[in-house]
Every structure is written in C-alpha cells, then in structure tokens.
Amino acid sequence: MTMDERETDNQCSYCERRFKRERHLALHLGLYHEESLTDTQAEAYRAAREAERHELRLFRLKALVTLVLLYFGLLMAFAAFA
Ligand SMILES: [Zn+2]
C-alpha cells in the first residue's frame, strides 16, 4: 500500500478533506456534516468525541500531579537548604 492510498482511507466523502487519523475524520464529520451523517458515522463521532474528552481529562490529571510534585519538591528543597 502506498502513502497516497493510506491517506485516502481517511478522506471526507463530503468535502474531500484528508486526515492523518481516523478519529480526526470522525470528529470532522460530526462537526461539519452533522446533518448528513449515517448511523455508523454518527456513532464513530460520538466514540471519537468521548475518546478526546477522556484524553483531555488524563492530560489535566497528569498536569495536576506534576504541579503538586513540583510544589512539594521545592518545599522539601527549601526546608533542607534554608
Ligand atoms: Zn468534510
């Protein structure tokens, strides 16, 4: 399979935009062509949206943990050296 064929796999059938990832195509379909979606496409959009939301939540949690660790790390360093 060539690069071109692989890219066409994630091409929008309504406006011919191409996406690197299948999930991005599913999100695009839901956002720009909502009224012409098939049941399968609507279901893929819901799944993709849910996956994005989950990833965002995970990212926020990691950022929070990093900040807390950094805060206590600095506090310990301050207590040890001050
Ligand atoms: Zn499109």
Location of structure tokens 């098939």 = 38
CA–centroid distance, 36 to ligand 1, in Å, is 11
CA–CA dist 23, 30 (Å, integer):
11
**Overall number of domains in the chain:** 1
The pLDDT-based confidence of 8 (bands split at 50, 70, 90) is low
CA–CA dist 39, 6 (Å, integer):
24
Residue-wise pLDDT for 39-67, tens only, equals 999 999 999 999 999 999 999 999 999 99
CA–centroid distance, 19 to ligand 1, in Å, is 10
CA–CA dist 8, 25 (Å, integer):
11
The pLDDT-based confidence of 71 (bands split at 50, 70, 90) is very high
The pLDDT-based confidence of 1 (bands split at 50, 70, 90) is very low
Q: What is the pLDDT of residue 54?
A: 96
CA–centroid distance, 81 to ligand 1, in Å, is 59
CA–CA dist 38, 35 (Å, integer):
9
CA–centroid distance, 66 to ligand 1, in Å, is 38
Location of structure tokens 């599913």 = 26
Q: What is the pLDDT of residue 81?
A: 85
